[in-house]
Amino acid sequence: MPDDIMQLSPTQMDALREIGNVGAGNSATALSQIINHRIDMNVPEVSIVPLGDVPDLVGGPEAMVVGVFLRVYGQAPGNILFLLPAESAFYLVDMLMGKKRGETQNLDYLDESALMEIGNILAGAYLNALFNLTKLSLLPSIPALAMDMAGAILNVVLIQLGQMGDHALVIETEFTTDEEGIKGHFFLVPDPGSLDTILTAVGV
């Protein structure tokens, strides 16, 4: 990864945090409308982390999670990853499908399709907010879904990023519902070459 990405200024980090804030806020609103529950989100964390440390952000490499992954194409390509602990994914499916809480214990084809569509909507809302801030044209790929240990899912993403360097810039937001049950991590991982494009577009 180029040295300049390792040396982002506080102003640039603040700008990326604000992008994360607006994008995740848009996504949280979209999700709350779908499930008819209030969604809270924390202030996005912007960090430059060694690739091997990314699984620790979601409870460690052996934590069982459901991941929805999208590639972002356009003027500032990158990756979007929405990660949910398996229990949260099951509960989200219960809410989406009108089931009793705890009814879903595994994911069938319909459940996976519903979660991928959620990922699609969240990514679209996020990228739409990013467009409004930067005027950069960005399009998400068709989502892919996997249920596995966090380390295994993230390895697939990080192999792609690993060709670009040893570190990833991660904009991470945590979502929680107004009742216990759903907790998710939303990651925006811009390609190294996209950072300059985004920062220039927001004027820093």
pLDDT digits (tens, 9 = 90+) for 20-50: 888 888 888 888 888 888 888 877 777 777 7
Q: Please give the structure tokens belonging to residue 83.
A: 């990660």
Neighbours of 18 (CB within 10 A): 15
Which structural domain range is residue 165 located in? 3-195
CATH of the domain at 164: 3.40.1550.10
pTM above 0.85, yes or no: no
Neighbours of 44 (CB within 10 A): 23
**What average pLDDT does this structure show over 139-167?**
78
Indicate the number of domains in the chain: 1
Q: Which of 86, 68, 76 is nearest to 27 (CA)?
A: 68
Please name the residues in contact with 70: beta carbons below 8 A apart, sequence gap of 6 or more: 79, 80, 81, 119, 120, 123, 140, 141, 142, 143, 144
**What average pLDDT does this structure show over 65-76?**
92
Instruction: Give CA 62 to chain center in angstroms.
Output: 19
Residue recorded with tokens 């990013």: 130
Q: Is residue 147 part of a domain?
A: yes
Residue 79 to residue 120: CA distance in whole angstroms: 13
Q: Is residue 31 part of a domain?
A: yes
